[in-house]
Amino acid sequence: MASLNPLRLMRDGFASRLARLVDFRIDERTGKRLASQESRLTEQEHCTVDHRRRLDALEAGLDRLRGDLNWTSSEVKRLIPHVAAQEAQLEDLRVKIAMAPRADEQEVAAARSLIEEVQRQHAQIRVRLTGIAMYEDRLRRLEERASVAASG
């Protein structure tokens, strides 16, 4: 009959209500925290998707740059023998001029004209090689930046 005790019934009812109130507040706080964590997780997922997209674009650009760099490198390798040949020809002409006997004005003018033409062509090739070297350096720097961005 102890369960019929009105004081005990009231105490049990009060305890039950108090427990429900505490449970409700705990559930409310936990719900807010979960909602906050869920929104942060969603934001991180969007950031991850964006980073993947940007990384894919950087990798595609890096592949193009590697192709350009390989082409440039091949062109430089192809031009090096030509430049060396021109330098050898120029040196041969200098030696021939130094050892050549005196010539008349027409021969001297023709020789000078030939030397100037060789020097002009030689200068053009040096300008082209300098441009290629600058292009290779630029590609290298872009590749380094893309590599740093991909790892960052």
**Total residue length of the chain:** 152
Query: Which pLDDT belongs to residue 53?
Result: 94
Q: Is the pTM of this model over 0.75?
A: no
User: By residue range, what is the domain housing residue 62?
Assistant: 2-151
Looking at the structure of the chain, the number of domains it has is 1
| Beta-carbon contacts of residue 140 (< 8 Å; ≥ 6 apart) | 69
The 3 state secondary structure assigned to the chain is CHHHCHHHHHHHHHHHHHHHHHHHHHHHHHHHHHHHHHHHHHHHHHHHHHHHHHHHHHHHHHHHHHHHHHHHHHHHHHHHHHHHHHHHHHHHHHHHHHHCCCCCHHHHHHHHHHHHHHHHHHHHHHHHHHHHHHHHHHHHHHHHHHHHHHHC
Phi-psi region of 103 (alpha: psi -120 to 50; beta: other; left: phi over 0): beta
- CATH number of the structural domain spanning residue 48: 1.10.287
Separation between Cα atoms, residue 72 and residue 130, nearest integer Å: 12
Q: pLDDT (tens digit, 9 = 90+) per residue, 34-79?
A: 778 888 889 999 999 999 999 999 999 999 999 999 999 999 899 8
Q: pLDDT (tens digit, 9 = 90+) per residue, 19-34?
A: 777 776 666 667 677 7
